[in-house]
Structure 1
Amino acid sequence: MPDSTSPATPHEASAHSAWQARLRLGFALDAGVSRLVERTHSGPLRVQKPLYPEGEGVCHAIIIHPPGGVVGGDQLAVNATVGDGAHALLTSPGAAKWYRANGHVSGQHVALRAGAGAAIEWLPQESIFFDQACVRLRHEVELATDASYIGCDIVCLGRSASGETFNTGSIAQHVQIRRGGKLLWWEQGVLAAGGALMASPLGLAGHSVCATLIGVGPPLVPAVLAALREIKVPAGAAFGATQMKSLVVVRLLCGDSEAARHIMLAAWQLLRPALLGCDAVVPRSWNT
């Protein structure tokens, strides 16, 4: 996605006091309505009123970061718990922008929990990492034995529309998903700008956009998995879908964030009915 916001200047960065922003959300099922029953924050992370674009059974919450970008040293934390039988979808109003480090490490820690029969969806828009960004990302999901989850992550290295590449910096990622106390998914690594993984066929293979969608729920029927694998992608892109019992992973490597968004939405529209038992209603913020 093209970005018209410029990174902080050295003067702005020196005057910047790192934000320690925290947001805690709680959702509960009340007479058939998934309600936002807890909303506490410190620092610049907010959720405004809950939305119900697809009926009262699913609560949509748009997480807002008022500064509009993350500068070196900023630390963001989001903790969301969905009670038994409730369904929450968390998204963002626009792309997240991670600016250059200025000698400090930025970070984000997301912790999601879903109770018995509950469902939680983590569908932020893409994350743009500016050149010289130094970021640590941690994403943890704890699900009850029969809870469901869909999460999407689109990583854009540099700003291709502006001719900026990711030449200096690093991104450390840690993702773990547990269901019924059992570890389903564990992934961690460090992507160093200019490092071997940037060009390696075992890494990004020279692509600047990496998108991952992970779903947890009942095993997919063969027709759904086949349909996922038939999603059209741009020439030169790498795409695949893999099922491992109750977990399915969809991955894309390409050079266009807009194409990545459309492809991940297409995958989500196939997976959501199969895993969560409801039609895929695209969040309004994804259409702006």
Structure 2
Amino acid sequence: MNAPADTALFTPNWHAQLELGYARDGAATRPVLRRHQGPLRVQKHLHAEGPEVCQHIIVHPPGGIAGGDRLDISAHVGERAWAQLTSPGAAKWYRAAGPAFQEVALSVEAGATLEWLPQETIVYSGAQAEIATRIELADDARLCYWDMVALGRPAAGERFAEGHFQAQLDIRWNGTLLWHERQRIIGGDGLLDSPIGLAGQPVFATLIATGEIDADLLERCRERPCAGRGDLTQLPGLLVARCLASEALHARAWLIDLWRLLRPALLGREAKPPRIWST
């Protein structure tokens, strides 16, 4: 018996929400808010570096994002608290007939620190991925943010021939726009191979950190080997690093190298990679 036409065309989708909050409690950072709806969770909070830094691992149990799915993530870091957020593995955006969405809203109060360090985003050919990230910083709040995007699946020989990837990143300091970036990449577009685009490299990554470093450290960072193309720019109050690579592992290794050098200088703490990155 054939299914009715409306059933045959129906594609299940998920709307998942996660809301997190952190506060300083004496010498420790504690999670004070953890609210979720749908398949989006955090694992048990960790204090691998001691009580000052609260680490959470954001988990999306379905393992992939399909057309019609929507993920909303928000995190608020209260005064003098320190939160480090990462993920257990790559986020996968699947081929779909319609767009899927992710919105991230992060706010960091005075004297607080947020490290947003997810693993890579893999956008399959034919996916329609639309991501928006808004970050609000107050006074002397500190931020270390990165993202890595792999278009297609190079290891499987899949190029990003169809679909689109769209991303927006806004960073505000006391309400003033500090950084605004928009990207829209169409599958099969000439910019994928153009020297003024991705130059044939399917992976691109960005690291943005508040603060400034001296010329010696900037040069040391630029000397770090990158299996692709990578460089850094020091702007007033903001450090920006970019890289193009043939594989996500290469981009991730370069970002971690930079983070190891920059964290002590910008955040005053030795860099200890989360154990989840090695599993």
- TM-score by length of structure 2 reads 0.95
Q: Deviations over 1:124-158 (max 9, x none)?
A: 00111111000111011101120000111110111
Q: Do structure 1's residue 23 and structure 2's residue 22 form an aligned pair?
A: no
Aligned to 1:82: 77
Q: CA deviation at 1:62?
A: 0.3
Aligned to 1:233: 226
Taking the aligned partners of 1:118 and 1:16, their CA distance within structure 2 comes to 42
Aligned to 2:243: 252
Q: CA deviation at 1:189?
A: 2.1
Aligned to 2:216: 223
Which structure is higher in RCO with an 8 Å CA cutoff and minimum separation 6?
Answer: 1
Q: 3-state DSSP class of the match of 1:138?
A: strand
Q: CA deviation at 1:276?
A: 1.2
Structure 2: gaps spanning 5 or more residues: 1-7
Q: Number of residue pairs matched?
A: 272
Structure 1: gaps spanning 5 or more residues: 1-12
Taking the aligned partners of 1:56 and 1:75, their CA distance within structure 2 comes to 33
Q: CA deviation at 1:14?
A: 5.3
Aligned to 2:108: 114
Q: CA deviation at 1:59?
A: 0.3
Amino acid at match of 1:122: W
Q: Deviations over 1:89-132 (max 9, x none)?
A: 0000011000012x210011111110010000110001111110
Aligned to 1:124: 118
Q: CA deviation at 1:162?
A: 1.2
Q: CA deviation at 1:196?
A: 2.7
Q: 3-state DSSP class of the match of 1:146?
A: coil
Aligned to 1:281: 272
Amino acid at match of 1:88: A
Select the residue among 151, 161, 176 that pairs with 1:157. 151
Taking the aligned partners of 2:176 and 2:272, their CA distance within structure 1 comes to 30
Select the residue among 30, 46, 49 that pairs with 1:51. 46
Alignment of 1:179-190 (within 5 A): 179-190=173-184
After TM superposition, which residue ranges in structure 1, 4 or more long, deviate above 6 angstroms?
none
Q: Do structure 1's residue 32 and structure 2's residue 27 form an aligned pair?
A: yes
Taking the aligned partners of 1:49 and 1:264, their CA distance within structure 2 comes to 26
Amino acid at match of 2:189: G
Q: CA deviation at 1:48?
A: 2.0
Taking the aligned partners of 1:269 and 1:183, their CA distance within structure 2 comes to 28
Amino acid at match of 1:17: P
Q: CA deviation at 1:15?
A: 5.5
Taking the aligned partners of 1:197 and 1:75, their CA distance within structure 2 comes to 28
Taking the aligned partners of 1:262 and 1:157, their CA distance within structure 2 comes to 18
Q: Do structure 1's residue 205 and structure 2's residue 199 form an aligned pair?
A: yes
Q: Do structure 1's residue 272 and structure 2's residue 266 form an aligned pair?
A: no
Q: 3-state DSSP class of the match of 1:261?
A: helix
